[in-house]
Structure 1
Amino acid sequence: MKVLYTAEALATGEGRDGQARTSDGKLEVKLASPVELGGNGEGTNPEQLFAAGYGACFHSALRVVARRQKADVSDSSVRAKVDFGANGQGGYGLGVHLEVSLPKVDAATAQALVEAAHQVCPYSNATRGNIEVELTVVEAAA
């Protein structure tokens, strides 16, 4: 792979109950386990950060694919949901649900764009074969 950019962040403290900061200082967050996992929920958690990153990255890939196909993806959005759970082998795993809204294209075009974006998106390429990623078009033009 020809590296085009490297992001860097440092996590300190107590892991899920610590803090994280990017090397450029543009992102600095307090981390806290969610209440559902026994934490106090008073900070963000790695799954939320992953959801935000994946959603933004997928949306960008979707826009690239749409531009190539001259499809109107204005007013589009991607909601990313990241599941955390026991994997049945003594460890933990993740699952992702991406809900894509493409109100200006028909359902067939929307589905084709989502599938094409899934082949382009770096997060999709990194997770493919490792975790389940469910893609759903939640809105398209009639």
Structure 2
Amino acid sequence: MPKVIYTGNTNTTGGRDGASRSSDGRLDVKLSPPGSSGLGTNPEQLFAAGWSACFLGAIGRAAAERQLRVPADAAINAEIDLVLNDDGYVLQARLNAKLPGIEANLARSLVERAHQLCPYSKATRGNIAVELNVV
């Protein structure tokens, strides 16, 4: 039987022109549509932040499988596009991994393994276009 490790709980009002607050109060953000002059962030930025954090952790797990350490200055730049196509709105993503000091082929291998391990990658697999890059 699966074991729930953690449940994130937020309450959002007003949609893209509203606010979102976590049940523990640690997250409390105003929301505004992408590209607007509103004061808040948008769901695409929040998704990019969550996925990039998770993905960097997954790179750490992939590196540990090979008895390697991820450099302290490693980073993931996640780009989440909101796209309007014939079927309506969809998302697409680019995950750009910066792994200083790690040889390019090894870095690519770690990124590909992380994409298999990361829960966000698992959740989106087959649902949105995802491009993996080592920069």
Task: Tell me the TM-score range normalised by the shorter chain.
Answer: over 0.9
Q: Is the 8 Å Cα contact of residues 73 and 104 (structure 1) preserved in structure 2?
A: no
CA shift for structure 1 position 129: 0.2
- Tell whether the 8 Å contact from 1:81 to 1:98 is kept in structure 2 after alignment: yes
Identity, in percent, stands at 52
Corresponding residue for residue 75 of structure 2: 77
**Unmatched runs of 5 consecutive residues or more in structure 1:** none
TM-score (norm 1): 0.89
C-alpha separation in 2, matches of 1:114 and 1:87: 29
Which 4+ runs in 1 deviate beyond 4 A? Answer: none
Kindly report which structure 2 residues correspond to 1:1-142, keeping only aligned pairs within 5 A, or say none: 1-12=2-13, 14-35=14-35, 39-74=36-71, 75-89=73-87, 91-138=88-135
How many matched pairs?
133
Could you report, residue by residue, the CA deviation over 1:5-60 in whole angstroms, capped at 9, with x for unpaired residues?
Answer: 11100001x2000000011000000001123xxx3232100000000000000001
What's the Cα RMSD here? 1.1
Q: Distance in 1 between matches of 2:7 and 2:58?
A: 18
Structure 1 residue 68: deviation in Å? 1.8
Q: CA deviation at 1:87?
A: 2.8
Q: 1: CA distance between counterparts of 2:41 and 2:122?
A: 25
- The Cα offsets for residues 52-77 of structure 1, whole Å up to 9 and x where unpaired, read as 00000000100111122122321211
